[in-house]
Amino acid sequence: MRRRDRHERGLRRPLLPYDAPAYRTRAEVFDDEVRDAAERLEPRWGRAWGRIDFASEDVPPSDPTPWEDGVPLGRVFPSELGQPTRVVLYRRPIELRVEDGHVRSLVRDVLAEQVAAVVGRAPEDVDPDYGTSG
């Protein structure tokens, strides 16, 4: 098997160094935002929510639930058969609803809404900063 080296100049290298901010994809940055928001709520609500997994996906599945109007920003999948409760935030719908730089506040709000559904409280009780754009 031959390596692609047509002009005998050596192997190609990445366009950006690995430590450059632009090297990370938008999906990786979004995953970090979800992780940070969940870690922010965990000290206060970790015991109340029990075993829960936080995840992100690019888009929601094409089969909306009957009570959803439009495209959901996140969903809670209840625990079943020994699997933990799963909270999923959808990256593309969230990115399309915010201006540049405000993804963090919407991720925080959507996550607060989903955790509130799990613990049976209002989003404002789960996150005191819910609804603020700061």
Q: Is 78 exposed, middle or buried (0-12, 13-18, 19+ CB in 10 A)?
A: exposed
Domain boundaries, the chain: 23-59+72-125
pLDDT at 74 over 90: yes
pLDDT tens per residue, range 35-65: 999 999 998 888 878 888 999 999 988 776 6
Architecture of the domain spanning 23-59+72-125 = 2-Layer Sandwich (3.30)
pLDDT-based confidence at residue 13 (cuts at 50, 70, 90): low
Asked whether 71 and 103 are in contact (CB, 8 A), the reply is no
